[in-house]
Amino acid sequence: MPGKVDALLDEKRIFKPSKDISDGSNIQKWMENHGLSSYSELIEAAARSPEWFWDELAGELEWFSPYSDVLKWDPPHAEWFLEGKFNVVHNALDRHAKGPNKDKTAYIWEGESGEVRTLTYLELYKKVNTFANGLKRLGVEKGDVVSIYLPMIPELPIAMLACAKIGAAHSVVFSGFWAKAFRDRINDAGSNVAITADGFKRRGKLIELKEAVDTILSQTPTIERVVVVEHEGLEVSMEEGRDIWWHEVVQGMDYECETEVMDSEDPLFILYTSGTTGKPKGVLHVHGGYSVGIYATLKFVFDLKDNDIWWCAADIGWITGHSYIVYAPLIMGVTSLLYEGTPDYPDPGRFWRMVQDHGVTVLYTAPTTVRMFMKYGEKWPAQYDLSSLRLLGSVGEPINPEAWIWYHKHIGGDRCPVMDTWWQTETGMHLITPLPISTLKPGSAVKPFPTIEADVVDDNGVSLKSGGGHLVIRSPWPSMFRTLYRDPERYVEAYWSKFPGVYLSGDVARLDEDGYFWIQGREDDVLNVAGHRISTAEVESSIVSHHAVAEAAVVGKPSSVKGEEICAFVVLKETSTNLENFQHILKDHVKIEIGPVASPSTVKIVSDLPKTRSGKIMRRVIKAIVRGEDVGDVSTLANPEAVSELKKAF
């Protein structure tokens, strides 16, 4: 992404949070309470003893019985809070429902059509308990994996919490993915129970989710029961003995359900994410360390206080939603906004009207959303009162300095610091991030969170003081994923083998003279489309699964709104097909196979793809062509003439 990188290299502006914000911040108070007089003192103390730092934070949560040790690090395997007995749901729900927060609003839910529902901590607790009891009646046991495919409705966090409560792991699949993605993830996880809904609306259009799920259930041999939420009141077919309505599951169930006593290291969830091969990776997170890490980062980075209204405008189907819509905000006992729909529906003022009407104080969204609103223009946010906002956040991809400045000015009224948080599905929590006491540079994720040893290294693993290199993490952190589900070799191979014992993030970054990190994007064959990780291999396999296709190569092309767009070059089996129409057919094909986010924006039909003599598709060359860059030396290719054809096609 040369354009992006050059712009980042030139960025010299700095911003300092106001004294009010920094002096009143949670991190400042925490340092005072621990006798630390400056942030550098905290960083040093935490580096000297990460165990001390994480022990202090773990001590702010409730444990059924104490851990014996904070950390056992046997690279690449870490265990945190050993032998501790814990359940995230006890911390996220039970203790609030039985304490002073019981009548506090946990979630304000707004549907796309404008309907608003609220749930207090006590109400949420009861709903989780009745559903947890219902799951038990359906035969779900501790250690099972329940697969969930739900839109952004309250039943989604309720289902996740109910699983965690009884010790089952959940595997949530983003509802914007198509049902085949759900099928593959069910089969990888081996779930007996699936949870879905009749349907939901996206931009006013009805998506018939249950009907889609029906098409894959003949290919999921482990599934015995399917729970269906009635959300849109659709007529759906319910198979006797297999399908059951959510409202029937909870009917007559007790409001109390004992919270399973889990070991710190017991699985909490699996979340599938894209890797360099077509097969998604089942990232596994556990109860203890995960909870401590996400709690600490939400508390210090987004600085939430008792009366905050927190809006993490992500989908729960991604890690951002798991960590910062479901678990961490509930652990902290704050009020969160949960939004079902699209940010610019029915008009580009929707998002800002919601900030105004619900009095949102801290807003966390993605650069792609910021850039979209930049395009609509500041006249939209200007119509609303955004003075409730105190802090802003960004996640998912590098935020261009101009988008940062726009966000800071037109949304944050020049007073809200922007927390550009770098992390991944695998990391579970923010790893490189500003705090509300940091000096900010637009486009930089600033510095590692206390105890995190991040570094930028060359191919030999040697630290680089300037220039781009592999972003690696040298130290373990509590919310780190523990393995890839049912694929422990790939865990080691994909993340820990290039530099043994060091975590390879897959991102390229650069350090500046002040030690600030500038993340530049993925270095592997993974695309970042509107903040969503999509593997080129997955899209290629989907295209090639079409009967008329012989071969496909997929590359990313920089886009001013989405970050990257997907470009596909396709070789057909028969050249006689109607080419015009075929491009649409392929786009729809990918939409149905994977989901709208993975559908290519450009499909070019060509007669050949550039290849090495050993037959490997040269994506580097194709990438250069779509970016209008020099393709370099192509004389060693098996078929250099393919390059000129591609150039013409593009």
What residues line the site for ligand WT7 (CB under 6 A)? 273, 318-320, 395-398, 420-425, 445, 505-507, 519, 521-522, 528, 533
Q: Report angle CA 157, 208, 220 to the nearest 5 degrees.
A: 75
The encoded tokens of residue 641 equal: 């003439």
Rounded Cα distance between 158 and 597, Å, is 26
CB 392 within 8 A of CB 404: no
Residue nearer to ligand WT7 on the CB measure, 101 or 528: 528
Instruction: Indicate the burial class of 544 (C-beta count within 10 angstroms; 0-12, 13-18, 19 or more).
Output: middle
Q: How far is the CB of 76 from ligand WT7 (least distance, A)?
A: 18
Strand partners, 72: 79
CB of 428 to ligand WT7, least distance (A): 9
Minimal distance, residue 11 CB to ligand WT7, in Å: 14
Nearest approach in angstroms of CB 287 to ligand WT7 is: 20
- DSSP secondary structure of 325-352: IIIHHHHHT-EEEEE-S-TTSSSTTHHH
Closest CA to 531 of 562, 555, 559, 560: 562
Considering the complex, what minimum distance in angstroms separates the CB of residue 394 from ligand WT7? 6
Spatial distance between the Cα atoms of 434 and 489, rounded to a whole number of angstroms: 34
Q: How far is the CB of 466 from ligand WT7 (least distance, A)?
A: 19
Task: Give which of 504, 503, 457 is closest to 77, Cα–Cα.
Answer: 503
Residue nearest to ligand WT7 (CB): 425
367 or 450: whose CB is closer to ligand WT7? 367
Q: How far is the CB of 282 from ligand WT7 (least distance, A)?
A: 13
Shortest distance, CB of residue 603 to ligand WT7, whole angstroms?
A: 24
Residue located via tokens 């030690």: 515
Output 322 or 410, the one with its CB closest to ligand WT7.
322
Closest CA to 105 of 117, 95, 120: 120
The nearer residue to ligand WT7, 398 or 436, going by C-beta atoms, is 398
Burial degree of 327 (CB within 10 A; 0-12, 13-18, 19+): buried
Question: Nearer Cβ to ligand WT7, position 196 or 535?
Answer: 535
CA 409 to chain centre: 26
DSSP string for residues in 375-398: HH-THHHHTS--TT--EEEE-SSP
Least Cβ distance, residue 449 to ligand WT7 (angstroms): 13
303's CB contacts (< 8 A; 6+ apart) are: 21, 25, 26, 27, 362, 390, 391, 435, 436
Q: Using CA of residue 454, residue 298, residue 492, residue 535, what is the dihedral sign?
A: negative
Copy the structure tokens of residue 40: 């550098």
CB of 261 to ligand WT7, least distance (A): 30
Please say which residue, 91 or 505, places its beta carbon nearer to ligand WT7.
505
**Nearer to ligand WT7 (CB atom), residue 250 or residue 519:** 519
In the complex, least distance from residue 128 CB atom to ligand WT7, rounded to whole angstroms: 25
597 vs 605, beta carbon nearer ligand WT7: 597
Residue 131 vs 495, nearer CB to ligand WT7: 495
Q: Which of 54, 422 has the CB closer to ligand WT7?
A: 422
Neighbouring-strand partners of residue 323? none
* Residue number with CB closer to ligand WT7 (30 or 499): 499
3-state secondary structure 64-129: CECCCEEEEEECCEEEEEECCEECHHHHHHHHHHCCCCCCCEEEEEECCCCCEEEEEHHHHHHHHH
Q: Read out DSSP for 129-198?
A: HHHHHHHHHTT--TT-EEEE---SSTHHHHHHHHHHHTT-EEEE--TTS-HHHHHHHHHHHT-SEEEEES
